[in-house]
Amino acid sequence: MNWDTHRAFFNLPSPQMKAKVNAALDPHYRMVIIKAVPSDSSKWRIIDFLSSGARRDDPRNHTIPVVEIIHAQQYVFIVQACWDYSWVFPPFDSVASRLEWCHQLFTGLCFMHEHGITHADIHSGNVLWNHDGARPSYFLQDPCPKLHSTFDARYAYIDFGAAVHSFDEADRHWTPRTYPPEEYAAPEQILEIPIDRFAADIYNLGRVMEKEMYNSMKQQHPVAHEMLKVAHAYADLIRVMISELPEERPSAQQALAFLQKKVIARAQT
C-alpha cells in the first residue's frame, strides 16, 4: 500500500509529525487508542520493551497496557487501552489518594530508570489514569467530591517520543532533543547542552507535584491544606526535587524511599 496516498484517510502522521492518535473499539467493544508513529521512531521501541516479557506484568511498570503493536512498512501502529487525562479534576479527595498517586509515579519512574530509560518529557499532560470502576459523588452537593478514593486508580506515563534508553554510563549525560513545557522544564534542559537525564526527570516530576499542590491550594481545597498539616515533609521533598543544581536532587530511588519513610509513614500515624 502507498501510505503517502492514504495518509489523510488513515489519519497518519506527516513526515514532520511524530505521531497521530486515533480512537477505536476492540472486539469486546472496549475503547482503545491506535497511535501511528514512523517506524524509525524510538517511541514504539521503548513501549515495546516495557510491554515485553516479565516487564509487562511487573507491578512497578506504570505505562498503559499494550494490546498489540502492528508493523506496516514505514509506520508502526501501537494499540493501547484508552486511559484519561482527568486525574487533575476534581482535586484529590484524601491525603491517602494524593500519596498513592505520588507513590505510583515514583515507582514507575524508578522502574524506568532501573532499565536505563529516561522519559525526558514528564509533565501533567503526559500522565494518565484508568477510570474503570470510578464512582464519583455528586459534584453539586459535595464540597469535596469523592472520585480518586472510590476505586483502584492506576496512573501511567505516556509519550516516549523524547525518551532515551541506554544502560551505558557514558549516555547518562545527554543533549535533549526536546523538553517539557517551560513551567515543568529543568533549567539545564533548555540550554541544549549535555545534561544528567535522570536528574532532569526528577525535576520534571517535582514540578508536576508542585503544580498540582499549588492549584489545589489556590482552589482552597480542604484536602490540600490537610495534606500539608499531616505530611509537611511532602513540601520538603518537592523542594529538593526542583533544586536548580542537578547534583542536589535525589535519585528516583532516594525520592521514593523518602516518600515512603518520611511522608507516607508519618501521614499514617
Q: Per-residue pLDDT tens for 218-230?
A: 888 888 888 888 8
Over pLDDT 90: what percentage of the chain?
Answer: 62
pLDDT of 142 over the 80 cut: no
Distance from C-alpha of 199 to C-alpha of 36, rounded to nearest angstrom: 30
- How is 55-116 classified by DSSP, letter by letter? HHH-TT--BPPEEEEEEETTEEEEEEE--BSGGGSSPPSSHHHHHHHHHHHHHHHHHHHHTT
Work out the number of other CB atoms within 10 angstroms of the CB of residue 201: 26
202 alpha-carbon distance from chain centroid: 12
Q: Can you tell me the mean pLDDT for 76-82?
A: 94
Over pLDDT 70: what percentage of the chain?
Answer: 88
Name, in order, each residue with C-beta under 8 angstroms of 217's C-beta and a sequence gap of 6 or more: 224, 225
Amino acid at 162: A
Beta strand segments in the chain, E: 20-25, 31-38, 66-72, 75-81, 117-118, 127-129, 155-157, 164-165, 173-174, 195-196
pLDDT digits (tens, 9 = 90+) for 23-62: 888 887 788 989 999 999 888 999 999 999 999 999 999 9
Q: Which domains does the chain have, with CATH numbers?
A: 20-81 (3.30.200.20), 86-267 (1.10.510.10)
Q: What 8-state DSSP symbol labels residue 38?
A: E
Distance from C-alpha of 90 to C-alpha of 164, rounded to nearest angstrom: 33
The pLDDT of residue 133 is 67
pLDDT of 198 over the 50 cut: yes
pLDDT of 132 over the 80 cut: no
The pLDDT of residue 23 is 83
189 alpha-carbon distance from chain centroid: 18
The pLDDT of residue 229 is 84
Q: What would the grid cell of residue 134 be?
A: 470510578
The closest alpha carbon to 259, from 239, 233, 241, belongs to 233
The pLDDT of residue 137 is 60
The pLDDT of residue 139 is 52
pLDDT band per the 50, 70, 90 thresholds, residue 116? very high
pLDDT digits (tens, 9 = 90+) for 89-98: 778 889 999 9
The pLDDT of residue 3 is 45
The per-residue pLDDT of the chain, averaged, comes to: 88
- Using an 8 Å Cβ cutoff, are 118 and 112 in contact? yes
Distance from C-alpha of 4 to C-alpha of 91, rounded to nearest angstrom: 44
Name, in order, each residue with C-beta under 8 angstroms of 168's C-beta and a sequence gap of 6 or more: 116
Q: What 8-state DSSP symbol labels residue 187?
A: G
The pLDDT of residue 106 is 99
Amino acid at 104: Q
Q: Can you tell me the mean pLDDT for 180-197?
A: 96
